[in-house]
Amino acid sequence: MAHTTEQSDQPACCEPFDAEWAHLETLALHAGTGPDPATGALLTPIYQTTTFVQEAVGVHKGFTYSRAGNPTVAALERRLAALEGGAFATCYATGLAATTALCLALLAAGDRVVVSQAVYGGTVRLLQQVLGRFGVEAVFIDTADQGLLAAELQRAPVRLVFIETPANPTLRLTDIAATAQLAHRAGAWLVVDNTLLTPALQRPLELGADVVLHSTTKFIEGHNATVGGALITTQRELHERFEFTRTATGTIQAPFTAWLTLQGVKTLPMRMARHSENALRVARFLADHPRVVRLLYPWLDSFPQHELARRQQRAGGALIAFEVEGGVEAGTRLMNAVRLCALAENLGAAETIITHPASMTHWSVPPAQRAAAGITDGLVRLSVGLEDPEDIIADLDQALGK
């Protein structure tokens, strides 16, 4: 009998993973995969194929065509679902492809979406400049303000609440559990972009979220080698919508990308711990530097939402946001003077990356909206990598002296 590739299926390439070994570090290495039954290969094979031969009309082994599903991609999906504490996952060609599939699966013309004011620039561009033309209304508010959020949810029907916490790039936090209660009371789904912390540091589904979104390009894969995205949920009905939309739009992740991501995710818990340790040391250095006039890092006592960070996160994460004395010109000199840190449009890699959000990742966000979200023209975003923290500090110190 024909069947679709659901998260609960166990294709021939994998054996069910023993739930007894449920610690995060073990899940990151083993969940969703097993030795290849044909060869005994420890690593999941790259099933680089377009199609799959069927035993008879309507009878197959769970896969028919790689646009709809692929064994290598399915192995990654099982692992990501296990790490997030979900039941189902779908993987996509990019993080924005995942966001697009989410919106196409859950929204229709006339629907309203409430979105965190500070959020990835590509999300803003998609909602305003693409989906806005099809009648979707996106309302950007400070979702950290629960009173403001409650009022917006009561003002008119809302289909979806989309939050990113910590927010990119201001690191402003939204209380996930409280937001889930407000969203569900209003009849809306809650989606949490967990790209910046990953399940190693934050598990939104356990706090009431309906869907977790990832740009797997970032910390999940972690090595600047791929682009990809994922949606994870505990709800079969939502998962089936995501699967249908992915097949209909042709946005599935490539097998080789999924294979590379499977290798990267094995070290996710250790990497996130080291990212966080390094970032805290760098943040303390910047906090004491006379040329730094504004510093945001959730694990510092000075962070305005430090108590919330301690409550819903396991550590501070890799990202630091700061401004230097002298504004835009001084920040530009800093970013042009670094030698170890890479000036690039990415975050979440093994290498330390420094970014100017206003001209790079968030250039397409209208200036007034950037300002309202706290994304000033002089803001510097630092994604602290896995180098020795003393080397990162030395590079920033010499650049700040320029």
d(Cα 83, Cα 267) in Å, to the nearest integer? 12
pTM of the model: 0.93
End-to-end Cα separation, the chain, in angstroms: 69
Q: Which of 330-369 are b and which e, b meaning 16 or more Cβ less than 10 Å from the residue's Cβ? A: bbbebbebbebbbeeebbbbbbbbbbbbbebbbeebeeee
> According to the 3-state scheme, what is the secondary structure of the chain?
CCCCCCCCCCCCCCCCCCCCCCCHHHHHHHCCCCCCCCCCCCCCCCCCCCECCCCECCECCCCCECCCCCHHHHHHHHHHHHHHCCCEEEEECCHHHHHHHHHHHHCCCCCEEEEECCCCHHHHHHHHHHHHHHCCEEEEECCCCHHHHHHHHHHCCCCEEEEECCCCCCCCCCCHHHHHHHHHHCCCEEEEECCCCHHHHCCHHHHCCCEEEEECCCCCCCCCCCCCEEEEECCHHHHHHHHHHHHHHCCECCHHHHHHHHHHHCCHHHHHHHHHHHHHHHHHHHHHCCCEEEEECCCCCCCCCHHHHHHHCCCCCCEEEEEECCHHHHHHHHHHHCCCCEECCCCCCCCCEEECCCCCCCCCCCHHHHHHCCCCCCCEEEECCCCCHHHHHHHHHHHHCC
- Contact assessment for residue 255 and residue 50, using Cβ atoms and an 8 Å cutoff: no
- Contact assessment for residue 24 and residue 269, using Cβ atoms and an 8 Å cutoff: yes
Torsion angles phi and psi, residue 90, rounded to 5: -130, 140
CA Rg, the chain, in Å?
Answer: 21
Size of the chain in residues: 402
Residues acting as catalytic residues: 67, 120, 193, 218
pLDDT digit string (tens) for the chain, length 402 residues: 233 333 334 444 444 455 556 799 999 999 999 998 889 999 999 999 999 999 999 899 999 999 999 999 999 999 999 999 999 999 999 999 999 999 999 999 999 999 999 888 899 999 999 999 999 999 999 999 999 999 999 999 999 999 999 998 899 999 999 999 999 999 999 999 999 999 999 999 999 999 999 999 999 999 999 999 999 999 999 999 999 999 999 999 999 999 999 999 999 999 999 999 999 999 999 999 999 999 999 999 999 999 999 999 999 999 999 999 988 888 889 989 999 999 998 999 999 999 888 776 665 677 777 767 677 777 899 999 999 999 999 999 999 997
d(Cα 374, Cα 232) in Å, to the nearest integer? 29
Structure tokens at 210: 């309906």
Q: Quick one: pLDDT at residue 326?
A: 87
Structural domains in the chain, CATH included, are 24-264 (3.40.640.10), 268-400 (3.90.1150.10)
d(Cα 152, Cα 137) in Å, to the nearest integer? 13
